[in-house]
Structure 1
Amino acid sequence: MNSRCLKAIYVVYFGMKFLISSGNCQTCFDSSNCPTYAKCWRNTCLCEEGFRRDGDVCVDMNECTNINTCSRNALCVNIPGGYSCQCRSGFRTVGTHDRQCIDIDECNQAAQVCDRDEICQNLQGGYKCLCTGEVCHPNAQCRIEERGPRCACEYGFRGDGITCHDIDECSSEMHDCVAPQKCENTAGSFVCNHNNACSITSLRLLNMLIIVTLCSWHRNF
């Protein structure tokens, strides 16, 4: 309990409590004579633990901006009269102690986090999925070939698998659009537009090119 006391004289009138005087320390008979978050202790109003005096009231102390015991891998969350520690992403608490956070080894979890052809490398607060010691580009996959695993860009992209760039089928004439259709490049593919009436979309699946045509007709009455 905070050792700094509050002077507060209240009177109760028809069930309502009114502050009629305040200042330094004041004798109290019970906690009903004290402000909110203060208790009467040895006839003196004292702020509860986690609160401090501010004039004639007790206000919450933000432990997160001062001294707290959260580990560096945890976030301090202020609550009235105290605080809690929440582990950052990739970390977990030690038992029931929320002040300490240790790394989660995602590579040793029951659920597999990487593809079967990739190697999982644990990091502090995270992990990496490696293919031959490298991290494949988001538009690449780790493939097992005769010479061993390697990163290979997906269809519609080109590169070494570590870096992949979109192939512009429209500018490189690698499309099936015919006049008056207009070729529009998309990530990993392309779209054929025809006067806003027909839309031809190409879908790449393995080595097959599937053409889907969507048309709309408008009838005037």
Structure 2
Amino acid sequence: KAILWSLITLLQNGVLPYNTQQFHMQLPHAQAQAVWQLFVERNVGIELEVFQQKQSHMALFSVFSDGSHRELLFSIESSARTNQLFLKFRTQKGSIKTYTLSAPLSDGKWHRIIFALSGDQIQLSENCHQLVSKLDFDLHFQQEPHLHMFIGEKNHHRKQSQGHMREFSADAGNPTFEKCPSLDLTLASPVVTSVEETSTTTQLPLLYAQTTFASELAERKDSLRDQTAFNQILEHIAFVEDQVKHWGAVIRSYDLRLKTVELHQRGCQIDGRIISFGQKQQNLLNCTECQCSSSGEVFCAAIGCPHLMCEHPIKRFGQCCPECGKECLYNGEYYPNGHEFWPKTCVRCTCQDGRMECQFHQTHECQKLDCYHQETPPNQCCPVCAGEDFCEQKNPCHENAECSNSKYGPKCTCKPGFFGNGTLCYDIDECLWDESAREQLGGCKTGTVCINLPGSFKCDCLPGFRKLDDRNCLDVIRV
């Protein structure tokens, strides 16, 4: 379980900005051992939120061994005087290795600091800006049966620590990418490392007694000075490499975007003619159309038509899309075009585009049937086969229709994305939907151009946009 303390109630006098009360907490033994075990397992994330007074230096999180000489094992310190964070840990040789990182700690704002250790990889970020992420093979964390772990600086000399902390958490795993999904990887300045040869001792007070620190600096060997200078050169090289990688990625991103825009501007070539992205070219002789997609692909199919709600649309001569025929008036009642009914025995009437045509049938004209079950529907003259698999015997439906068996014959229904009477089906052009229809039926929306397909459609992104989902595209240039 995560170890999480909200320090607001514990440090009521140290939360408000510019209040100079100290903050400090020593973790109980059980919790300290639980957190340190995460360090030993090389799988720990430390998260702090601090506010620091100007010209102040604080120890945010520190761990010491127990014994006559309390040795520093790990610490995160911050300085508003120099605007720097210090990450310190003990190496296998007993030396203290320090990472010095630049961060704007004196800006009078709260700062969320996240440290993560995963194997030999260390990562430290401040307000979702990555300060360091690298492999370090000097890391050394071993079991410590007795240790002291502090949140905030131990005030041994009763000097007031000018700073405030309102959240601290420690848990397994790396919380960086959960808390910072858009982590800024650009390094503003190089990382400086240094190594202190002697083991750092303390008496629970401040992290290191100033006299001890001064003597350690004086006793540092020439070889360590050379090693520190060499490490600094390596850090500068790593910084330059990171910058080259970052700007290389930026350039590649803009190059890809430029090529995409150029592709949009080129359009598509159809029959020796260039048409722009989203444009259609229709052939009214065979009622087909071709449309240019954003990828440069050309989609050709039958011309899509507005969706008509009538059951029997008719296509007039010289037109590619049908229309609803005229209604018929019969005995004071209106009937839609194509409607067929039997008003009297052996009399069949059909509405033909505003004109009702009725025919009288005679029984001797009936065809001979070879089926076992035969019935004569109401008012009809001739018997028909009943309960047969009409779709299997003879399917009269259009290729874009589905056949189902009714009692007296097959029933044809146009498939989704098409309309008509089933024996003739037309493609619905979903790109002709108005805004209300797009909202209700799920048409193309923000940053897209609609491409009509047989029985369906797809939404292509406009130049400079990136696909968000099947119906929306995001303006990546503004983002």
TM-score for both structures, normalised by structure 2: 0.19
Greater C-alpha Rg: 2
The structure with more strand, counted as a fraction of residues: 1
The structure with more helix, counted as a fraction of residues: 2
Structure having greater relative contact order (Cα 8 Å, sep ≥ 6): 2
